[in-house]
Structure 1
Amino acid sequence: MSVDPTSPVVPLASYPPAPPDEYRSRAPEFYGFVSWTSTTLLFVFFLLWALLPDEFIVWIGVEWYPSREWALLLPAYSIVLVLLTYFVYFSMAIARTPSFSDISSFVDSRAHLPASGAPNPYLKYANPDAIPELYDIPIGIVNRVMYGPQNRTKGTGSIKEE
């Protein structure tokens, strides 16, 4: 039984849709194989260079090779580089995060808000059966609906006792 990718039986279709089999390239398989084999060969050469004695390497016919101290320095520098990368990205994320009092904490540049000069478009939808236009609701209205009218005393920040 053939099922349409967006039928009620399978409501979610993959995006982007997969191309037909006859048009798929096998290049990623070859690139993956070449990168895997070259990485493995480089690692084997690194281990041989780091562990074999000098006499054996010269006997093989290798006249010049880097100093053995690089066998320790390269992994150590690599670990430091990875840790430094994590630290830099974490620091950049903290530096770019807006403060809690900034309006950009909860409203972004893609918000679809009503025009500022127009009357409040939400008041005409006070009927619970009404379906409003699609807008992002401003945070002030959300707070009024969620927490009721402003019952805060001035200056103290605490809620008035009634």
Structure 2
Amino acid sequence: MVETSPTSPVSPLAPFPPLPTEVRSRAPEFYGFVAWSGTYLLFCIFLLWALFPDKYILWLGVSWYPNRDWALLLPAYSIILVLLTYFTYFALAISGTPAFSDMSTITDSRALLPAADDCLNPYARHARENAIPESYDIPIGLVNRVVYGRRRKLNATLSAPAVELKEDSTA
């Protein structure tokens, strides 16, 4: 007699798989710390150069340093560069956008439309009660007729009695 293992679970709890052993590098932590501390060090040096008088900078042993005008020009140029970057990306996004009249704003090359056979409306054959419709993308013209065509009819029927009431009340 051959023993077989049970096909249904023996316990209501599923066995928990062992956790994978990950080997992660801590290099990004060190790089982040070096970038953070380096940034603060450079900012402190920038502030000392921009705010200290010349005699203190010479007393520290620094014999050459850039003109103090750059203390205002560097931040101003940086802000302008950031603003121009945003403007450039915004302009590229607008230039890459197709016109409203372009068909690519409505459909694409992967749209699945029914074959145009001899039927007047290819969607009408799926209106039968027992029909299982195929999966198609609905053309925008049909969507507009259904969505906006009914709204016009509904608005016309709602506004017509109100006009008649006004006419009756004035008579």
Q: Using structure 2 for the length normalisation, give the TM-score.
A: 0.62
Closer/same/farther in 2, CA of residues 141 and 58 from structure 1, 3 Å limit: same
Which runs of no fewer than 5 residues in structure 2 stay unpaired?
1-12, 157-171
Closer/same/farther in 2, CA of residues 73 and 54 from structure 1, 3 Å limit: same
Match of 1:47 in 2: 47
Note the aligned Cα RMSD (angstroms). 3.3
Q: Using structure 1 for the length normalisation, give the TM-score.
A: 0.65
Which runs of no fewer than 5 residues in structure 1 stay unpaired?
5-18, 152-158
Match of 1:143 in 2: 144
Q: Give yes or no for the alignment of 1:99 onto 2:99.
A: yes
Give runs of aligned pairs for residues 125-144 of structure 1, distance below 5 A. 125-127=126-128, 132-144=133-145
Shift of 1:102: 1.4
Distance in 2 (alpha carbons) for counterparts of 1:62 and 1:128: 90
Distance in 2 (alpha carbons) for counterparts of 1:66 and 1:32: 29
Closer/same/farther in 2, CA of residues 121 and 28 from structure 1, 3 Å limit: farther
Asked whether the equivalents of residues 125 and 132 of structure 1 are also in contact (C-alpha less than 8 Å), the reply is: yes
Asked whether the equivalents of residues 114 and 121 of structure 1 are also in contact (C-alpha less than 8 Å), the reply is: no
Match of 2:37 in 1: 37
Closer/same/farther in 2, CA of residues 91 and 22 from structure 1, 3 Å limit: same
Closer/same/farther in 2, CA of residues 114 and 67 from structure 1, 3 Å limit: same
* Higher alpha-carbon deviation: 27-36 or 62-71: 27-36
| Max Rg structure | 2
Q: Give yes or no for the alignment of 1:73 onto 2:73.
A: yes
Identity of aligned residues (%): 63
